[in-house]
Structure 1
Amino acid sequence: MGVVFSKSLFLKQAALTLVLAVVLSLISSAIQFFEGAQLQKTQINQDFEELLAVVEKPLSEAVFRLDIEYAQQQIDSLIIIPSIAQVEVFDDAGLLFVKAGSIDQSCSSTCLFLSDYFLSDLPLYQRQLRVVNPTFQAGHLAITPYKPHLLDAIFSEHSHILVYNLGKDLLLASLISFVFYFLVTFPLMRLTDSLTKVKRNEGLPLPASFHRQHRFDELGNLHATFDAMWRKLNTALSDLERSDSHTKAMIEHAADGILLLDEHNNIILANSAAQAMLKRDSAEFQSSSLNDLHTTDTWPVFADVLSGLKIDQPLTVEATYQIEAIELPVEIRLAKYQLQNKVEILLLIRDISERREAEAHIHHLAYYDSVTGLPNRQYLAKRLEATLHNKQGKSSLSCSAVIFMDLDRFKTINDSLGHNVGDQLLISVASQLSSLLEDNIVFARMGGDEFAFLLTKLGSNREQVEKDVKGFADSIMFACQQVKKAGHHEVHITASLGATIFIDTERSAEAILKQADTALYRAKESGRNTFAIYKAEMQAVSDARLEMEKALHHATEFKLFELYYQPQTNHKNELIGAEALIRWKDAKRGFISPAEFIPVAEEIGLIVEIGHWVLNQALSQVAIWLKEGKWHPSWRMSINVSPIQFQQAGFLPMLKEQLSKHKVPTSCVDLEITENMLLNDLSSSLEKMHAIKGMGVHLSIDDFGTGYSSLKYLKSLPIDRLKIDQSFVRDLLTDKSDEAIVHAVIAMAKALHISVLAEGVETLAHFERLCEVNCFYYQGYYFGRPVPPSEFEVAFIQGSNQLKTPL
């Protein structure tokens, strides 16, 4: 068969089977030998005992008679037996009487060793010699067995068993080997031969006899497994070829340029995008090095990045390629990997020239004004931060300054002549003032008609710096006063300026800008077209404002406000409701008037949160009083709503949630809004007011007469009550104009079927006069001051049918 032993499964199996057969045969024969030897030893013991019994009596009598000759004859007869090596007879004193040994006991030392090893347990056979009549202890007999003879007898008896077992087992091993060959080896050879001849996309060809003989055995399963594996391999190869084609197509049609480098950084592949981007064909790439693509200043940096790139740690860098004397900014994604023990580097190259242009445009939009082209607030703040940062750590600090400039009457010009003229005016101002700039000056538009200048490196002499800043401000104001061309118009304008000079580095940029802004407003208060430098006394107002903001944030966060309630009555002195009024008692400043902190809360964005708290607290109190039977369902709780809070998109859902949460009847709630709120967005306000009325909640206009309500719109408002502002009621008795206003409001409300409530009723005279002019609902100190809820219960709710007897 031409097989090599070391590679032939059959020969390996045959040799192993024969070896195992011999080993097993020897083991079996050894076991049989030892078992037979034990039986032989038992028989030997029995034979020697019988022999002792035969010679005991003659020898006993011979020893008794001291007949040495007869005793010698007896033991000589025993020595004839081959299995006896020596016989000894001892008298009653233990002295040797007669002795005889085997004539031929020649045996090698090996023979003696084996006999002693295998027959080590054979004893020295002894028997006491006694005479019965008369009774006498004559001595004893000792027989030493000849072990080599006994062992030879044992081996002789069992040698044929060993030969028989060995022959039988060798024959069986040979038969097994031949059966194995025909059942396993030969079919495997046929299967292997078929595998070597099979072609791709074919099944495994085998004779029909193979399927009949091995269809259901392990060889059949092996064939089926090989066949399934071959089909999977064909499928995998097809998928691999498709994947390879797909990968090549993706590389070829990728929008980004792709370069592949070998472990020596040589270009071995370039796709079409790379060829088009870098204007080289495939042959030019493979004949050039990578540094040919880079500019001289970017290649050293990129080479360092390339050499330090680690396997499976992608990196993105930017570089500049030199393409036909044109520099092309690119973004390169680098990836080093190991494939089949080879290291390759993949470069994904993207042209980012458009992105660079977009980033530059975005940067310009972020830091420059679109109308004037000047730097904007953000740019100025950034430069100011840099100025403060650069001053840190220097022993001798130079002064710097920020000047804010505001064009006087610009809003009037913008509104009367149009925004287009206003923009042209801003451009003209910016162009004219730019001529005053030096290297140490940054000129920026802060927004609207507000400009700013950052002046640096002005020197360390504060007095001289102030003079220089004032001189520069005078130049600005003079330039602004010159006639400006804006479209077809000649415009005359002036400017107000405020400046702050700083040398310390502890102040923030924001604080410096606020100081300049404070100085600008001081200049405007001084009559405009003037200039002011920030002084320490100006800071007091600013600090007080900051302290108020800080305290207000703290009070809002920890709910340090209280709600007081002021009664509202009718002309019969009956309680008709109450107004919820917020009170704030600061730990340092005591009670702070709402007129002082509410505008601040509106400006810094806390009014919505405060308004939410007021609504929640007021409805909660009404719910408690209703549950305790202290609040009449016809009474109204008036709750002020800030215009900012009212304009919030979530105001209506919040109102519904609070009404549902406290389960307060909507008829008990009266929301008070100001008439100025309607100027912002009348249509939206009307929509919300109708939605509120649809819930059943009452609506009142607070401080009526102090705003700018149009009577045209007033008639369409879904309101229930007008509240005459207390400023008109207070001077009702002394000022004819106020009296006329009160008369007009009452008459108008009556015509529109709207009730009227007068605020600020402080005396009996006020009360009586209001009754005379048909005003029947009141609120003021005459009926009661705002008090906490517990005092309100005692003073006004208990016995509320007669609230207070007029004086």
Structure 2
Amino acid sequence: MGVALSKSLFIKQAVLTFFLAVILSLISSSIQIYEGMQSQKTQIDNNFNELIAVVEKPLAEAVFRLDTDFAQQQVDSLLQIPSVASVEVLDEMGNLFVGGQSPKRSFSVSYQTADQLLSDLQSYERSLHLSAPVFEAGKLTIVPEKRYLITQLLSDQSSILIYNLAKDLVLAFLVSLFFYFLVTYPLTRLTESLSELKAKSSLLLPASLSRFHQSDELGHLHATFAQLWKKLNTALSDLERSDAHTKAMIENAADGIMLLNECNRIILVNSAAEYMLKNKSTHLYLHSLEALHAPASWHKFAETLETLQINQPLTVETVYRVHGIDLPVEIRLAKFKIQDKVETMLLIRDVSKRKATEAHIHHLAYYDPITKLPNRQYLTDELSELLERQQHSVNYSAVVFMDLDRFKTINDSLGHSVGDQLLCAVASQLSFLKEDNVVFARMGGDEFAFLLTCVGNNRETVEKSVCGFAQSVMYACQQVKKAGHHEIHITASLGAAIFKGKEFSTEVILKQADTALYRAKESGRNTFAIYRAEMQAVSDARLVMEKALHHATEFKLFELYYQPQSDDKNELIGAEALIRWKDGEKGFISPAEFIPVAEEIGLIVEIGQWVMDEALSQVARWIKEGKWQPCWRISINVSPVQFQQTGFLPMVKAQLDKHDVPASCVDLEITENMLLNDLAASLKKMHDIKALGVHLSIDDFGTGYSSLKYLKLLPIDRLKIDQSFVRDLLEDKSDEAIVLAVIAMAKALGIGVIAEGVETWSHHDRLREINCVFYQGYYYGRPLPPAEFITAFVDNHPVCPNLTAPIDTSI
């Protein structure tokens, strides 16, 4: 049965129909046989009753007559019947009268079978009696031959069984044949049409199905198959498109993609990964990831890969080794399960450029791009970490701030490129100070800083060490620096804050060092100061000054006063324009206080331009009013910072044009120290100024370092002897000697001389004796506002002396 049911549908149906037909035929025949046997049993009973009725009376009479022979004849006649097995006749006393058994015959049925099938068939007994005379003759017993009877029964019913079975088998064959042509054959044709169907073609209905089955279940089955096939084609098309998209996206992805199997072996590599790893996918297929990693990075990555959970993506960074070169990569790991298989996808991104950018950003954040030194942030972080590490340390450390003196003048006059080269030269020259316990940083502009760690545990010794360090720095800064084509002399001012443990915060320590630096600058520059508590008040006052100075510059709160300049005949030869600042709270503030501050914070250029504009505007008005002689000179102080500005010369020319003031009326006073920065550039600019017709004077002459060396080269008209020499002229022979030397030198060079700071008649008389005939000082008049100056000095001085007349230097 198992084999038959594994065959085609037709064979399955035929076998099942055959078995059902046989079973049903047997059941039907069994019922018929059972009913026939019941009918036969009834017939047997009737036959035996009829037989007994025939012999009953003769046997009764024979017993009555005691005629055994006749009785035996009757018994023998009964035994001739095949269905009788034995006969027995008893007399009235119950004794055997006559009897007998049928002859032995062979049957195909055994006794046991016959007894089981005819178990309800027993012996037939009948009482023998006569009615006339009335006599109870005895009893007749007939035993039926069950084997014969059952044989007859089976013989009669077997034909029925054979007929029914043959009929049912024929019916089953006809049903199977009908099923074959009605179902099996159409299904076979449908199957053949399906097997011959090509991808994405239409499912056509076979001709036989079209004729006979278009509207029945097979037609509906075909329609259902056609719909399913259409959906399958659509799904297949979508799947192919999706697969093509997936492959295209994987292949053209900017990031490298690798797929790992359950054993973490590579089973897929896209083009980006091939390019990144400089290796073909065929070489990487089924290889372990370990071969791609730098040895130091594999262990950590392997642990991450091992512990990665399904559907819990993770981003990690690691390092690949590509042809001996380390390649930093960022990998997006994703483990998933598809059809009971666990796979891991790696999205790999080359982050070498990002790492380089981060390193560059870090370098930009912590290093100065010009000098390549650590910057303010770096030093601040190092100081903060030092304070954290040494909270309870007994060792002192120090922060030393350094500021280049007059760097802004150099930067503005020679250009930022030269300024940057100078900064690099300073950084290079001070590099010898960089030790394990020293951090050297550029804080910004021309300001540098040193962090000295663990200098010692004795405050006095530490201060000496820091002073020695500062002296080394100042000495190095004083050396001639080469910046482009220029040789530049420069000095530095330094301020230090000494601390230990965590008694002060980072901000406080830096502020203390800055305060000490300002104290060093106020002390005359090219010097060094250590922070003391009392310096803070000065620093705070400095900040107040800067704020007020910004306000005054923005709202033009300055005034110009004019101090007369006279000759030995007490006749006016000009005036010096002097700036005055009257603060609302502090009153008048000396220029000696705010001019250096203005130079340091970059306001001096704007202030100087205002002074020139205001002075020339005032002179223009006086000329127009007839109050100013064309031969008089207005002396205007020019800051070294302003003079070195690239736009200084155009500004002077523009001011002259703007106010229409004769250039010969203008005398620009510059300091000799300005020449130390760049003599060549200064000389060129001075010649250009002289070409405009403007006069040039050296102010505070004698206080500089190199005046005698450079004086012969300068295109100047006048020297102003500094008031520090004039003030003590009568008491100090050295000052007198200096004044005499200056006058003699000026005569030899054809340069005029004016003495400032002349406060008494004695000063005037002595200067006149030594042939200095031009003066400026309180003896001749104090600086006054414009209107008061005209009233006090101009109306009574109509004569204009020749400033450059020969001077009698006989003593």
TM normalised by structure 1 equals 0.49
TM normalised by structure 2 equals 0.48
Please tell me whether Structure 1 or Structure 2 has the larger radius of gyration of its CA atoms.
2
